[in-house]
Structure formats: structure tokens, C-alpha cells
A and B are shown apart, each in its own frame.
Chain A
């Protein structure tokens, strides 16, 4: 059993990390499909708004913020497990948290209607990551599922995900927030913006209305910080616990390999083991000839058998590409336990159905049968 198969057997949460465009969503879906085929009840959470995953799963209605069961009837798997899929809606998830922690429904509605809150829920950097972590926490507690597989948002740093609960807590505890709260604590209902130089400055930049919204939000939010902070701590603890496994995904390009190597370092720093490294979309090799041998054949037959020479030239070009890719991924491979590296070749066609995902899963979990 290879490392990634062990992860699927033992983990309760699997997080796929990597740069944008390397195939995180597809990897997460293939892992989930395989886990379902081993009899687990799996939910895969995507953050990718593209319809691709819904289409691949044959869900005509698309994916929503609640899990939808995927019909595995036509899939080439023999399964007693279940596969569910959902797409994270950060705003709805955040609204749910506010309702849960507000002291009264009226207070919750006041917050939900506030323009500053809508901005936090919709646009604050880190909110999407935090809500992904929050959703994962909820699904982990949900008795319907044995395993949660999630792909991380395409943020500038894929590990923002790990820091996100702390980031929001920090935001709420920000000095500016405390400044805004001071008058309320002092019993004054009307905040004298002019008395606070920082607020006055911000008011000059963004305009008074915007600032008034912000102050109204922080006043309504007062008393909820503790609940939010405790929850964020629990979410963070779960992300750092041994039931959560991290799978890195890279494609054979210098920038994504650098990012994956950086992420591996960050994970190890946080004492979080890298369970597996997936190198996706590698140029497949054909036959045993090296690129140089193929080029020599092409040269030798250029005059006498031009059609055959063209075939050798093609083999030489593909071989050179595969060699270049191998050189690029080498540092990442060298730094990883060989058993944890899984290579997935570039397939003939883009993945667009369960069959394609099953193909990918075969490369991830099957015996080494490709590339070298």
C-alpha cells in the first residue's frame, strides 16, 4: 500500500494544497472517488466556482453549500461507500456562524444587514480560507461522513488556509476595533469620530458613511468575539491534529514546484507531516530510448526514411520535454519520502467525467505503472 493509500485509509480529513492550475480540485475529487470505492462515506468540498467538478460528477444542478450525493451507479467502481460533493459558499457559511453566536435573532439580523459585515463576509481577504476551514470542521463532526476531502482556495499563499482562523480573530481584536468600542463601553451611545485621530483619518479617506457602517458593525458584534475566538481555536486545533493529512499537488513547472517545496517547508515547520506529493500532468514516456538516441535515429534516417525519421524526431522532442520536467521536479522529489511521491501523467484528454477521475485515481493508488 503506497503512502497516499494509507492516508485515505487512516485520515478523517485530507487537504490538497498547491498553486493555482495544478489540478488540486481534480486530485481532491479523484482521492474522494477512490476512498468511496474502499467503502468510506466521503464528502469532497471544492472552492472552485467552475462547473467542472459538478459536471464531472454528473450533477446537472451544480453544487451548493450543502453536500449533494453523487450517483456512482455508472462509475467504473464497485462500491458500498458513498460520495458526496459540495461547493463552499463563504458568505452563507459566515452568516450561519453569526446566527449561531449572536445573543438574539434581532442582533444577528442587525449584523447580517450591516454593510461593513457584508464586506467582511464577501470580500475580506482570508474570509474564504477561514470559511473553508469552518465548513471542514462542521463536516468532520457530521455523522454522515467518514472522510472529508477539501481543496484549498487559490490564494497567494495556499497555507493562508491554516492561518485563516487566527487571522480573523486578529482582525476582530484589532486596535482600531477597540478604539471604536471605547465610547460604547463608556456608556456613550454616540461615537465622537472627531475625537479619534485614526478614525478621523480613515473617515477622510473612505468617507463618513462607510466609517459609520463600520462602527455600527463593531457595536453590534460586541459580546460575540469570545464565541468566535473559541470556535476559531477549535478549527485551528483540528487543522493541526493527527486526523488531518496534507497532500501537496504540483505540476512539472518551476513555479509550482517552488511553491510546493515552500509549502512542504511550512507544513514541517508547523509540525504537520506532508502525507503525499502528487506531481500532475507529467509528459508520458514512450519506450526505452533516450531523447538523444531518438534524435540520433531521426538524424540517421532523415534522407532514407523521412516518415520514420519524423516519428523518431517526435519521440526525441517528447523525451526532451519529459527530461526537462524531470529536472524541474527533482528537488521536490529528492526532499520527499520516495514512497510518498505519486506521478500522474498528462492524459490524452482533459478530465470531464467519473471515468476520467477514475483514471487519475488509478495513477494515484494503483501500482507504479507510468513515467519511468
Chain B
């Protein structure tokens, strides 16, 4: 598989993971890598934070934001309810509607993504999925609504989204984690929940912030100062712990792993993104071999 094939495997890719694992970074790196191999890419931000647009500024990737209240307003417009849609969205009624049928706020967003996917304007749409524990709920909203809503346009919408989820050529979910105990545990739980309950195809798991490198040889250094030995020992220990977590993940989850290197900066900028995108493309080349 070369990277063009990989990025063309599904038109819609939803990046999901717990807060703090670097989901936005991974979304941006994927979008940038796909654009670098010549694809027409759209990156989607769901929470209205400007992070994605900032880090992708100056690249060929287009960036857009979809929020639940805007998506609901559009949805009502499209269904001949234009007259009241403005009133509904502006008066906060979306909260009440979303409580009457939980997931309705998610399904209108997913419906919007499905619309973009169906249009075929973009070769690849990468979505910075919802944060924290919300990812699974977000993906499950379609199935949940089919159970609670027994008729009407929302049910049709939920069915259309499920159809898209069930077609691996249209939609895949990429899970992101860090090489540490708790994030890896959560990744494994999420992967099982997504596969069993949503039925969507999982792409490779992406482990962010991995400190790659051979162990630093401590014994050969003879009379090196103590702090040098302590620093080397510390790093070797952390690297080994990360590798142990990756090994445990391979053991528990039969998905391809891709790793993004830890960068010597404490927040990714547009410049760093090129390096991460290159790391992704390089690993895709290795997958091919």
C-alpha cells in the first residue's frame, strides 16, 4: 500500500481519542501528509477552536468548522422548516431537543459530514473528532437514535449515517493514544466499543509522542559524571516502558500501529507538522514493503 492508496482508502476519516493525546496534531499531520501526496483534503474541526486552522495555515489543506447548532439550523432549513429554524437555534432549544432525543446534536453533525462525503468534492475529509469520553457517544448516536426515534427525517438521517459507517470505503475511524498505561487501556476499550457497537472500520492506531531510539549504552562510558549516567538511565527506562506499552497494545489489539515521534517542542507548530507528516508517509512506505 502506498500513501496515496492509504489516504484514498476511505473518503471520511474520523480521528478519535481521549483529551490530551494529541488528536488535533494527528488530524493535522494526516491532512498535511495526504495533501503532500497530491490529494484534495478538507480538515474538519468540531468545536470551534482555532487550533487546526492555525497549524494548517499556508498548506493546501482546506479547513472548516461544523458545530451542532449550525448543523441543526441547516438541517431544519433543508427539511422545509426554515421559518422556525432560526428561532429554534437561537433560543437554546437545541438543548431541549437534544435531551428529548440524545444524540440528535451529534447526528446532525454526522449528517453534515455524510453530506460532504457524498458530494465527492474532496479526496479525503479528516475530522478532528470530539474530545474526552465523547468520541464513542458521538459515533454511537446513529445507532441510539434508530432505537429511540421511530419515524421522521431524523431516523432516515441516522440510517444514512449508519450505512456510511458500515462501508469501509466511505468511512474509517483512526484512534489516537499515547504510549502510557492509562491511555493505552482506554484505547483498547474504545476500540472494542467502536467495533462492536458502531460497526465502523478501524484504521491503524496512531501512537503519538513516542521517544524512538536505541538504548543509550551506559556501561561503556566508564568514568562519566553521575548526571550523565542518571539521565541516560532515566531515558532508557522511559523508552523501555513505552515499548512495553506498545507491545502490550499489539498483543491486545490486532490493528496496525503507526507511531509519531516525540518532538523536542512542547506544542506543535506549523513547522513541526511537516516532520510528523513525513513520518507518517515513511511508515506507510514500510507497510507497503
Contact = CB atoms under 8 A, between A and B. Distances in A.
Given A206-B97, A318-B231, A350-B181, 10 more contacts: A21-B18, A22-B20, A50-B186, A156-B47, A201-B84, A214-B96, A286-B227, A286-B234, A308-B228, A311-B232
A251 B20 contact: yes
Interface in A264-302: 284, 286-289
Contacts of B226: 287
Interface stretch (B33-41, B163-171, B250-258, B261-269): B261-269
A372 interface: no
A287 B234 contact: no
B57 interface: no
Nearest to B153: A205
B217 A307 contact: yes
B100 A202 contact: yes
Interface residues of B, number: 69
Interface string A1-37: 0000000000000000001111000000000000000
A122 B152 CA distance: 24
Contacts of B95: 124-125, 171, 174
A20 B132 contact: yes
B289 interface: no
A217 B33 CA distance: 51
Size category of the binding interface on chain A: 35 or more
A315 B228 contact: yes
B93 A176 contact: yes
B229 interface: yes
B185 interface: yes
A253 B265 CA distance: 9
Interface of A: 19-22, 49-50, 52, 115-116, 119-120, 122-125, 154-156, 171, 174-177, 197-198, 201-202, 204-207, 209-211, 213-214, 251-256, 284, 286-289, 307-308, 310-312, 314-315, 317-318, 320-321, 324-325, 327-328, 346, 348-350, 352
Closest 5 CB pairs of A and B: A21-B20, A20-B19, A254-B267, A287-B227, A123-B102
Contact of B231 (A116, A209, A311): A311
Contacts of B18: 20-21, 154
A13 B237 CA distance: 37
A206 B101 contact: yes
Given A174-B92, A253-B267, A311-B229, A154 B133 contact: yes
B155 interface: yes
Contact of A350 (B19, B151, B180): B180
A154 B217 contact: no
B210 interface: no
A155 B235 CA distance: 33
B239 to A, nearest CB: 11
A288 B225 CA distance: 11
Interface string B239-256: 001000000000000000
B241 A349 contact: yes
B61 interface: no
Contacts of A328: 266-267
A205 B93 contact: no
A207 B230 contact: no
Contacts of A325: 266
Interface in B173-227: 178, 180-183, 185-186, 216-218, 220-222, 224-227
| Interface-central residue, A205, A211, A312, A318, by most chain B CB under 10 Å | A205
Interface of B: 18-21, 24, 47, 51, 76, 79, 81, 84, 87-88, 91-93, 95-104, 131-133, 137, 148-155, 178, 180-183, 185-186, 216-218, 220-222, 224-232, 234-235, 237-238, 241, 264-267
A352 B84 contact: no
Contacts of A156: 47, 131-132
B100 A253 contact: no
Contact of B81 (A124, A177, A204, A287): A204
A205 B131 contact: no
B185 A50 contact: yes
A213 to B, nearest CB: 7
A175 B24 CA distance: 37
A204 B155 CA distance: 11
Contacts of A213: 100
A324 B221 contact: no
Given A206-B152, A210-B149, A312-B228, A318 B99 contact: no
Contact of B132 (A155, A314, A317): A155
B132 A154 contact: yes
Nearest to B268: A254
29 contacts: A20-B19, A21-B20, A154-B19, A156-B131, A174-B96, A197-B84, A204-B153, A205-B81, A205-B152, A206-B101, A206-B104, A206-B152, A207-B150, A209-B150, A211-B100, A255-B24, A286-B227, A287-B228, A307-B221, A311-B232, A312-B228, A317-B264, A318-B235, A324-B264, A324-B265, A324-B266, A348-B237, A348-B238, A350-B181
B224 A321 contact: no
Contacts of A255: 24, 51, 267
Contacts of A207: 101, 149-152, 154-155
A154 B19 CA distance: 8
B258 to A, nearest CB: 20
B222 to A, nearest CB: 8
A102 B207 CA distance: 50
| Interface-central residue, A115, A156, A209, A325, by most chain B CB under 10 Å | A156
Nearest to A154: B132
Contacts of B87: 198
Contacts of B99: 116, 119-120, 123-124, 171, 214
